[in-house]
Amino acid sequence: MCGIVGYCGYRDCSDVLVEALTKLEYRGYDSAGIAVFEDGNIRVEKSQGRLDNLRNKMLSDGKPEGTTGIGHTRWATHGKPSDVNSHPHSGEKVAIVHNGIIENYKELKDLLIEKGQKFLSDTDTEVVAKLLGFYYKKSPMNPLETIKNTVARLEGSYALGIVFEDFPDMIYAARKESPLIVGVGKDEFFIASDVTAIINYTKDYYLIEHGEIVEISKDGVNIYDEHGDKKVKTLLTADWDAEAAKKGGYPHFMIKEIHEQPDSINTTIRPRISNGMPNLEECQITLDKIKDFKKIFIVACGTAMHAGMVGKYVIEKLARVPVVVDIASEFRYREPIVEEGDLVIIISQSGETADSLAALRLSKELGAKTLGIVNAKGSSIAREADMLIYTHAGPEIAVASTKAYIVQLSVMYLFAFELALAKGKITEEECCTLTQHLELTPSIIHRILSENLSMPQFVATKLAAADSLLYIGRGLDYALSMEGSLKLKEISYIHSEAYAAGELKHGTISLITDNMPVIAVATQEKLLEKTISNIKEVKARGAMVILVAREDFKIDHEAYDYLITVPKIDDVLMPIPAAVPLQLIAYYAAVQRGNDVDKPRNLAKSVTVE
């Protein structure tokens, strides 16, 4: 959940670290800090709160001057956000930054206290720093041995950036579970939680794997396995550039990313369509390979899980295969009845979400085949799934997911069409028509974004003062409402719930007053009449109704207060265009309320802890 970075080269290290941390702030923003070699000593600067606090602190204290160092941006787990709990943390002759959780930190801390160590913070990370110091004393001037001995004692997850006082031109790193890359530039090297952080300097990087230890000097990089043997690794190149990680004239990343959705869908689906039909062979998915799955689980968290909800409706409708959608944190502990012959689909933007990764591993243990739908290249889920479909959304910086969701949907559709064909539930002709409709979605979203911005913006002004609201819909509209509701609450901080419209009268309708706005989604022709009846029920009880509906539907004006129309496409595909006004409503409501849209409170983009 935190972001770590390190630099070893010829530039002003403080500047490089702070700039890189700006790109990692999406991973957490409870505090920030750096440790830089200055005149042969490690100088630490850190501060609670956003990176700007650290910047300001360094403006008044003067920034550390040097060319080698490490940095951190924190999402607090152990110990509240405070200066003292901020990273870097120090042990004897060592300073570290850490992303992950040390599960046995308490036991280690007690042992170290017994040996006379004093602790300043409440963090698990300081325990690692002190342990490093302890082992360094046992193996003086031997950082590699020290790191090996230390990590052997750690349980949990970590990506560590380490500097030793006696080695002022070097940085070290180690990884278990938490993501870590090494960036390779000309006469300069980096470590980082992801490539975004260093893309301004280089696109070339090594992906560090579990158990590996990294040693970086100005002259090069050495990577060792857990036994201390040197490894030769393949240098990878990021397939996007620094521009993709900038706001490009938009006020926030979120709105930029909403506008990028047509391109993201195109880039994701085009290579997977040939002769008008889905073709997932490059993802190791063939008709033959998938035709025998009798049961499917879709397991994910948050927005990715909501993409799975849409997937469930579509797969069940078209391929007639039962689908269970599970929240990953529930799935992994509920002893799921997953067996050989089942397919488990794990959806994840980051590919590093701890619960989703654990669900993947559990599914494999239980004998199921796994399919990862992942955005981050080379991430853990991408590497461990049996089959893999990359979504090509590019870097998603805003914490609230938009373009990653839309491409997750587009991939769910391609897979559902392919499965339905494999199962003989649709003809090639039907499959071709559905695929054509999917190919139309980018231009439809484009149309919404060029013609229909004002209504969501206006509606957001009507919602900005609300304390709570409901999203309602039936079938696919209900699945989509879940995502609409999450988007609104996570960035506007307005409480909201998504309800199956037909379920309201079983209790929740008692909440309806003129203080409870309702956003109703009605894009499904077969369900329209029923949904409209439900909408009228809330309208009759005083709710202000904002209706998001297919533009060709004839709907009684009395059923709603404000109408947002969505261009028509095959009903089964309507969640793709209809998602856009819901994203926009959430975005504009958050802007209206003056919130930090891209970095909502208490959140982090990549949830690599349970």
Residues at the interface with ligand M6R (CB under 6 A):
301-304, 348-350, 353, 356, 399-401, 490, 606-607
The nearest distance, CB 302 to ligand M6R, in angstroms, is 2
Q: Which of 23, 63, 109, 605 is catalytic?
A: 605
The nearest distance, CB 92 to ligand M6R, in angstroms, is 37
**Which CA distances in Å does 606 have to 88, 302, 501?**
20, 11, 32
DSSP string, 2-27: -EEEEEESSS-HHHHHHHHHHHHGGG
Look up 283 and say whether it is catalytic.
no
The nearer residue to ligand M6R, 131 or 301, going by C-beta atoms, is 301
How far the first Cα of the chain sits from its last, in Å, is 10
* 444: Cα separation from own chain's centroid: 26
The nearest distance, CB 307 to ligand M6R, in angstroms, is 9
Q: Is residue 318 left, alpha or beta, with left meaning phi > 0 and alpha meaning psi from -120 to 50?
A: alpha
Provide φ and ψ at 272, rounded to 5°. -110, 15
Side by side, the strands of the sheet bearing 343-348 are: 323-327, 296-300, 343-348, 369-374, 387-390
The nearer residue to ligand M6R, 582 or 607, going by C-beta atoms, is 607
Look up 605 and say whether it is catalytic.
yes
The nearest distance, CB 399 to ligand M6R, in angstroms, is 5
The nearest distance, CB 610 to ligand M6R, in angstroms, is 12
Structure tokens at 205: 């990087």
| Paired residues of 220 in beta bridges | 217
Q: Which residue is nearest to ligand M6R (CB)?
A: 302
Q: Is the peptide bond before 442 cis (omega within 30 degrees of 0)?
A: no
The nearer residue to ligand M6R, 349 or 410, going by C-beta atoms, is 349
The nearer residue to ligand M6R, 68 or 481, going by C-beta atoms, is 481
The nearer residue to ligand M6R, 215 or 483, going by C-beta atoms, is 483
The nearer residue to ligand M6R, 66 or 308, going by C-beta atoms, is 308
The nearest distance, CB 347 to ligand M6R, in angstroms, is 7
The nearer residue to ligand M6R, 146 or 261, going by C-beta atoms, is 261
DSSP string, 510-550: GG-STT--EEEEE--GGGHHHHHHHHHHHHHTT--EEEEEE
- Angle subtended at Cα 8 by Cα 245 and Cα 122, rounded to the nearest 5 degrees: 80
- DSSP 3-state assignment of 458? helix
Q: Which of 2, 301, 431, 432 is catalytic?
A: 2
What contacts 31, CB < 8 A, 6 or more positions away? 46, 47, 48, 49, 72, 73, 74, 76, 81, 82, 83, 85, 86, 87
The nearest distance, CB 194 to ligand M6R, in angstroms, is 11
* 310: Cα separation from own chain's centroid: 18
What are the catalytic residues?
Answer: 2, 605
